[in-house]
């Protein structure tokens, strides 16, 4: 029986979400639209399979075709990111990071990551997360003057702290990361170089962002800019294959989600097509135009610009919190997320910042002219967050824009 026949309540909610996604502007930097092929694979009969272990070395029988699919996903990931090894089993970015830690660290070991309010992730050392509870986390930050990474200061900190592992790759950093500089710092202090490219994986695959292939371990989600299913993987040189694989299974996970791994294989195939390079480049072009328009309208950008898929706004000069801006924009059909900014004086629940991403709107086919249109709507709502009539009019304009660029 179909979902509609089996559970009409859930079916109705899914249909409402579909309409919501069609009629709103998805500007959350970690969201995208997966293709129908990716969604078909995710909902395939592979949902029925249990396949603990790895291809040709399972703890269950009956995995002949599952093995072929997972091996295909592995080979495609290796080719796409130009690495010697790929583990496609991690369920999420956090799961991948847990496994990476377990592969290279012992509980209590010291590591360095970017401070959360400065653009790092919870799993990069936050005190409320496993990374801060199980390991000795020390953080580096961006420069107060430039709001950019200061590699000399990071090097000094690394020499002083002597961490066993250093993380680069972030969740809210709008500039290009100098991966070679991190490689040199890690080599100097004898640290493992870990690159978390969850946000920029699609840009890297499409050639719109430098590759961190020189890292000892690379973790990433497979959605966001890579436009695949919700999941993750771990990449690295062949020499680190065994320790990475053991850390995933049996170290931190049991049965892999073979339906999602199947969808990852499809996603990697899509990212290998020539048009994906154009897509990745357009994401960055759109973000830069959006950023320029917002600045021209009087808004302040953290670091003054973007070189990636995301724009980080500092709303302090406008006298509105990130939370209030997010809520007002949502009422107008523009979906964003509040975000801390470097040296933020507000709590992570309130924030002084707003994070905006262009991956999903680019998937819909929007380009530079639409970014200008979107920027204008964002500015008007942020400057008049309590104007109900304006928000209603903006929502109507958003729906008209979305009609011109259909998804699904």
Q: Are strands 310-314 and 334-335 parallel, antiparallel or unpaired?
A: unpaired
| SS3 of residue 312 by DSSP | strand
Rounded distance, CA 133 to CA 111, Å? 12
**263 CB neighbour count, 10 Å cutoff:** 29
The active-site residue, picked from 22, 155, 164, 230, is 230
pLDDT value at position 107? Answer: 96
The active-site residue, picked from 50, 67, 300, 364, is 50
pLDDT in tens, 306-362: 999 999 999 999 999 999 999 999 999 999 999 999 999 999 999 999 999 999 999
pLDDT in tens, 118-171: 999 999 999 999 999 999 999 999 999 999 999 999 999 999 999 999 999 999
Which helix (H) or strand (E) is 369 found in, with range? helix 368-383
Question: Structure pTM?
Answer: 0.97
Nearest Cα to Cα of residue 309 among 288, 333, 329: 288
The active-site residue, picked from 196, 314, 324, 370, is 196
Side-chain half-sphere exposure of 155, counting CA atoms within 13 A: 12
Q: How far is CA 151 from the centre of its chain?
A: 23
pLDDT value at position 73? Answer: 98
pLDDT value at position 320? Answer: 98
pLDDT in tens, 163-217: 999 999 999 999 999 999 999 999 999 999 999 999 999 999 999 999 999 999 9
Q: Is the peptide bond before 84 cis (omega within 30 degrees of 0)?
A: no
Largest CA distance in the chain: 63
What value does the mean pLDDT of the chain take?
97
Which helix (H) or strand (E) is 335 found in, with range? strand 334-335
pLDDT in tens, 355-404: 999 999 999 999 999 999 999 999 999 999 999 999 999 999 999 999 99
Answer yes or no: 346 catalytic: no
Measured torsion, CA atoms of residues 200, 202, 205, 207, in degrees rounded to the nearest 10: -70
One-character DSSP codes across 103-150: HH--TT-EEEEE-GGGT--GGGT-TTSHHHHHSEEEEE-B-TTTSSB-
Nearest Cα to Cα of residue 221 among 90, 326, 34: 90
Answer yes or no: 64 catalytic: no
Answer yes or no: 50 catalytic: yes
Structural domains present in the chain:
39-271 (3.40.640.10), 278-404 (3.90.1150.10)
The active-site residue, picked from 224, 338, 380, 395, is 224
The active-site residue, picked from 31, 52, 178, 330, is 52
The active-site residue, picked from 123, 219, 221, 358, is 221
pLDDT value at position 403? Answer: 97
| The residue to which tokens 């259909």 are assigned | 406
Confidence label for 274 from pLDDT (cuts 50, 70 and 90): very high
pLDDT value at position 121? Answer: 95
pLDDT in tens, 68-100: 999 999 999 999 999 999 999 999 999 999 999
Nearest Cα to Cα of residue 219 among 244, 194, 241: 194
Rounded distance, CA 344 to CA 80, Å? 37
pLDDT value at position 29? Answer: 97
Q: Are 398 and 405 in contact (CB under 8 A)?
A: no
Side-chain half-sphere exposure of 43, counting CA atoms within 13 A: 8
Confidence label for 254 from pLDDT (cuts 50, 70 and 90): very high
Side-chain half-sphere exposure of 391, counting CA atoms within 13 A: 19
Distances (CA, A) of 225 to 155, 164, 174, 199, 336: 30, 30, 14, 6, 16
Side-chain half-sphere exposure of 14, counting CA atoms within 13 A: 7
Answer yes or no: 225 catalytic: no
């Amino acid at each position: 029986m179909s979902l509609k026949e089996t559970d009409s309540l859930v079916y109705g909610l899914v249909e409402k979400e579909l309409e919501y996604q069609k009629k709103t502007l998805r500007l959350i930097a970690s969201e995208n639209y997966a293709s129908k092929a990716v969604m078909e694979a995710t909902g395939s009969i592979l949902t029925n399979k249990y396949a603990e272990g790895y291809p040709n070395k399972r703890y269950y029988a009956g995995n002949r075709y599952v093995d072929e699919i997972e091996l295909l996903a592995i080979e495609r990931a290796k080719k796409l990111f130009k690495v010697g090894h790929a583990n496609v089993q991690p369920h999420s970015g956090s799961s991948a990071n847990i496994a990476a830690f377990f592969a290279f660290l012992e509980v209590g070991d010291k590591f360095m990551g970017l401070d959360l309010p400065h653009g790092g992730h919870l799993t990069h050392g936050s005190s409320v997360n496993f990374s801060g509870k199980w390991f000795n986390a020390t953080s580096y930050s961006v420069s107060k003057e430039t709001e950019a990474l200061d590699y000399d200061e990071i090097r000094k900190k690394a020499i002083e702290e002597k961490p066993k592992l250093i993380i680069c790759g972030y969740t809210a950093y709008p500039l290009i990361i100098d991966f070679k500089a991190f490689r040199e710092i890690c080599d100097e202090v004898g640290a493992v170089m870990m690159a978390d490219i969850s946000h920029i994986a699609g840009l890297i695959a499409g050639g719109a962002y430098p590759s961190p292939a020189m890292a000892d371990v690379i973790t990433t989600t497979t959605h966001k800019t890579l436009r695949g299913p919700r999941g993750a993987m771990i990449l690295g040189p062949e020499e680190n294959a065994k320790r990475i694989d053991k850390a995933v299974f049996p170290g931190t996970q049991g049965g892999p989600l073979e339906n999602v791994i199947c969808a990852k294989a499809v996603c990697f195939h899509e990212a290998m097509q020539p048009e994906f390079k154009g897509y990745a480049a357009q994401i960055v072009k759109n973000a830069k135009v959006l950023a320029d328009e917002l600045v021209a309208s009087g808004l302040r950008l953290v670091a003054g610009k973007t070189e990636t898929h995301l724009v980080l706004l500092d709303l302090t000069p406008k006298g509105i919190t990130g939370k209030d801006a997010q809520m007002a924009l949502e009422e107008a059909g523009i979906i964003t997320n509040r975000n801390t900014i470097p040296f933020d004086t507000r709590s992570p629940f309130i924030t002084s910042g707003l994070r905006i991403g262009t991956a999903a709107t680019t998937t819909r086919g929007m380009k530079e002219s639409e970014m200008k249109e979107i920027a204008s709507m964002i500015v008007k709502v942020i400057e008049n967050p309590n104007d109900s009539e304006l928000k209603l009019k903006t929502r109507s304009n958003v729906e008209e824009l979305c009609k011109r660029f259909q998804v699904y």
